[in-house]
A and B are shown apart, each in its own frame.
Chain A
Amino acid sequence: MRPRHQVWLLFLLGSLLGRGSNAATIEGEVELPRSRPPAGIVAKRYEIVNQNGVLSTEPPLGVVYLDGSFPKPNSLPTKQIAQKDLRFMPSLLPVQVGTRVEFPNLDDVYHNIFSYSPAKRFDLGRYRSDERPIPSQVFEVPGLVTLRCEIHAHMRGLILVLSTPYFVVTQPNGRFRLDDLPEGRYTLKAWIDSKTTREKAVELRNGGTLHVDFL
């Protein structure tokens, strides 16, 4: 079965299951900046690029999240940003406040991940792929954290620390879908790059699907 058919099947299954619950759904599209792929690159990999001081992914991706105050869960799943081929993978990772992020080194060379960002300052020191336990950090303060490698000056990664558990990374075409949202009045935000976050007020009703575009 081809991947596209699998997606549709899951979507149909989700719709049937969700119809009986009280959850709300938002779907829509975020207008992302036009991609500027470097010439000659065949493999589509995501990396953080600077354009006049603005950090974003290339090709562009956004993060859509439901802003508001939500109870903090007792435990959160650990996430990972690996260093592979002298790049952070994924290059953009949204996490909920309190999430532990591991930084496994999948390259054969040393890396030294550090951040001087106000949201999180840390320095993991130099380590190789066999470093155990895998160096990790817990992100307690909401905000954007820029990851750098002390050895490889070109490497950049972004962690978007959010207070909400409801967030999703858009597809490359800008489309997104947020499921299992609680009903109520909220602000829906779309992070596009380090300097651009758009927002819209939304009112969610149980079982309803809201269509919101950030165009």
Chain B
Amino acid sequence: MRLPILAKEPHAAGFQLRLLAAILLVILALTTLAFYFAQWKITAQAEKGFQRNFQAALSTLHQLQELRHATLTERCRLLAEKPRIHAALEDNALDLLYPSARDELHDLMVGDDRAYNQSSLSAKFYRFLGPNGSVLHPNRDDEVGDLDPAIEAQLSLSSLPQIPQVGYIEYTDKSTQNLAEVIAVPIFSTETGDPISALVVGFKPTDLVRATPDSGITSGLWVNNRLYGGLQHDVPRIVAENIAKAVADGGTDQNNLKVSAKGVSYLVFYKRLNPRSAFPAGYEICLYSLTGAKVQVNRLRWQIGTTSFFLFLGGLVASHFVSSQFSAPVEKLALDSERNREQRRRAEDALISTSEQLKRSTRYSADASHQLKSPVTILRSGIEALLERDKFQPEVYEELSALLHQTRRLTGVIDDLLLLSRMDAGHLIISRESINLSRVIDQWLDDLNALPDSAEIKIEKAYPSELWIRGEERYTSLIVQNLLENARKYNRPAGEILVRARTHDHSIIVTIGNTGSSIPQDAQPHIFKRFHYSSSTSGHGLGLNVARDLTRLHGGDIHLVRSSDDWTEFELRFPTAS
């Protein structure tokens, strides 16, 4: 931790702590997520791998099984085709059937050696079926393999099959209960082509457990709701029950299921060994214990857990480093920000002070104007009263007239100042009534014509009789008056005033041009400023300023179009009433 900064700037230190906590939280969440997904993925993949191995091992076993079935079936079929057997069946010599078969099937039954007798390729018994599918009983000394009559009856079929059939039956061999795999091959008449008999041969079923000692698979046969083979001793009862249920409910010839018993999970695969057979169904059951797989998966989980822990530790260190790196500029930013805040506060204070000063100034000019207005009015009234008397010398009258003119001028200045101070204070509210600007201009042109020194000035006008704008008439009148009086005031003898107006793009544009001396080029940008004087003008410097401010309050504007070569022209623009 950087304690000096903490001491100096508590906000910046808090940021570093929060950043560190946030990064730690993110790393913790990511590590947890990664751990969870990795172990989930690896468990799923491991299980898939076990399934795949299991299926591959099973596939090999099934190929062996199918090969064995095909071999045995073909062998039985070849034996059943023997001419003596056909002759016995076709030439009505059934008494010679089993004696003939004894010779033909001798090899299948006995074989050459003891090992063959123990193998699953050695036949344990055989019988022939008659035309109705029932067993043709042999004589005792026919060496066909002893069978209890009840078991022998299990070999009978409802009718002779058209294709080889595989079945599983229980039989007693040397007082031991055993399961036999029987293969029934049809015998077709060489004369009619119809099945006339079937040879049913019983074999010892293949022991898949012994066949695959290293595959981790145990297997057995499921016939008549019982398990046979090496499996029956290993399988917990609950697994057997699950298998029975799956076989009974499944309706399919093969399926996978996962069964747990006594804390051990098993992958179970069952497959009907004799689909579409006329004999009762026999299923091959293969079990794969997931104990070893579980140990492997747990080991993987531990490995992932340890890796995640170290990753988290690494993340801790990295986050501290990253938070230090990131917080440094932020601390600097915080300091800068504090300085900026101070500067802003000072600027705001200055602004408030200036605003107060402005307000005070506005109030002062308004108050001053009000205070001046009364004495000037009294002064003017007094001078007018003196002029009405006739006992003075003519020089005195002349002086008084000059005084009256100056007081009137002073009154005009005071009125303008009052109006401006109201505008500055924001107290001037313009009403929005319809005004015919043409009429206002007409009135003021008439007044101009009436003035004594205007006779020699030519006034021309070109505008429609109606130009409607929105505003307050006394102020629009004041605007027009200011501009027209300027046009007259600064005209030359025998000069000209031209007033034009037109409507253009929702605006009414009035241009007022006059002859006379031009406004100097350097003065042109300042003519609308308050108290602007130039050497060539005789006004008090408020008229144009008042006119422009009032026009802007009406939503319009004034500007100088040109002032050169004996022609000065202003353009006045108002929005139309519509």
Contacts and interface: CB of A to CB of B under 8 A. Distances in A.
A116 B88 contact: yes
Interface stretch (B105-113, B186-194, B518-526, B546-554): B186-194
A50 B191 CA distance: 5
A150 B84 contact: yes
B191 A153 contact: no
B91 A116 contact: yes
Contacts of A135: none
Nearest to A147: B87
A153 B80 CA distance: 12
B86 interface: yes
A53 B86 CA distance: 13
A126 to B, nearest CB: 13
B190 A116 contact: no
A196 to B, nearest CB: 15
A110 interface: no
A52 B192 contact: yes
Contact of A146 (B81, B91, B192): B91
B93 A50 contact: no
A116 B93 contact: yes
Contacts of B189: 53
B92 interface: yes
Contacts of A149: 83
B96 interface: yes
Interface string A51-86: 011110000000000000000000000000000000
A52 B191 contact: yes
Nearest to B190: A50
A115 interface: yes
Contact of B83 (A53, A55, A153): A153
Contacts of A54: 191
B492 to A, nearest CB: 139
Nearest to A123: B84
Nearest to A49: B191
| Range, interface on chain A | 10 to 19
A37 interface: no
Contacts of B191: 50, 52-55
Most buried by B among A52, A116, A121, A153: A116
A52 B87 CA distance: 16
A114 B87 CA distance: 9
B84 A114 contact: yes
B91 A117 contact: yes
Given A55-B191, A153-B190, A118 B92 contact: yes
Nearest to A117: B91
A116 B192 CA distance: 18
Given A115-B91, A150-B83, A53 B192 contact: yes
Interface in A89-144: 114-118, 121
A59 to B, nearest CB: 19
B82 to A, nearest CB: 8
Most buried by A among B82, B189, B191: B191
B86 to A, nearest CB: 7
A148 interface: yes
Contacts of B91: 115-118, 146
Given A52-B191, A153-B190, A148 B92 contact: no
Contacts of B86: 148, 153
B229 to A, nearest CB: 39
Interface string B267-283: 00000000000000000
B83 A148 contact: yes
Contacts of A116: 84, 87-88, 91-93, 96
A23 B516 CA distance: 179
Nearest to A155: B83
A54 B190 CA distance: 11
A58 to B, nearest CB: 14
Interface string B69-108: 0000000000001111011100111001000000000000
Interface in B25-83: 81-83
A150 B83 CA distance: 5
A115 B533 CA distance: 156
Contacts of B83: 114, 148-151, 153
Given A50-B191, A53-B191, A121 B84 contact: no
Nearest to B189: A53
A85 B91 CA distance: 25
A152 B96 CA distance: 19
A53 to B, nearest CB: 4
Nearest to B94: A116
B192 A148 contact: no
30 contacts: A50-B190, A50-B191, A50-B192, A52-B191, A53-B192, A54-B191, A55-B191, A114-B84, A115-B87, A115-B91, A116-B87, A116-B91, A116-B92, A116-B93, A116-B96, A117-B91, A118-B92, A121-B93, A121-B96, A146-B87, A146-B91, A148-B83, A148-B87, A149-B83, A150-B83, A151-B83, A153-B81, A153-B82, A153-B83, A153-B190
Interface of A: 50, 52-55, 114-118, 121, 146, 148-151, 153
Please provide the 7 A-B residue pairs with the shortest distance between their CB atoms, ordered closest to farther: A116-B93, A53-B191, A116-B87, A50-B191, A116-B91, A153-B83, A53-B192
Given A114-B84, A148-B86, A150-B82, 5 more contacts: A54-B191, A116-B87, A116-B91, A118-B91, A151-B83
